[in-house]
Amino acid sequence: MTKMDSVRQLRSHLSRLFDSRHRGTLNVDYAKGQGYIDGYMQAMSDLGVVTDRELLQIVAEERTLAARQAEGQGLRISNPVPVSHFA
């Protein structure tokens, strides 16, 4: 798997996670998804596929995109999480 494939996969997971948050998923389901993504990002970082700075940028971009889409659909936007947190 290339770096581009890994980043694309991560963005897809993050998109689904943030979308589920805006749609009001159960906390247990959200935590499960977040744990999966945290592990994926840790593996990417450990293998040197991406830097922590790149991960933060990816998460921030996906969080912003998900919030804009939720607003466009009239969904409730939860309180934003500081960008320093991965997911």
Going residue by residue through the chain (87 aa), what tens digit of pLDDT does each one get? 899 999 999 999 999 999 888 888 888 888 999 999 999 999 999 999 999 999 999 999 999 998 888 887 776 555 555 445 554
Output the pLDDT for position 76: 58
Q: At what angle do helices 52-72 and 27-46 cross, to 10 degrees?
A: 150
Q: Comparing C-alpha atoms, which of 82, 63, 83 is closest to residue 19? A: 63
Output the pLDDT for position 42: 96
Output the pLDDT for position 22: 80
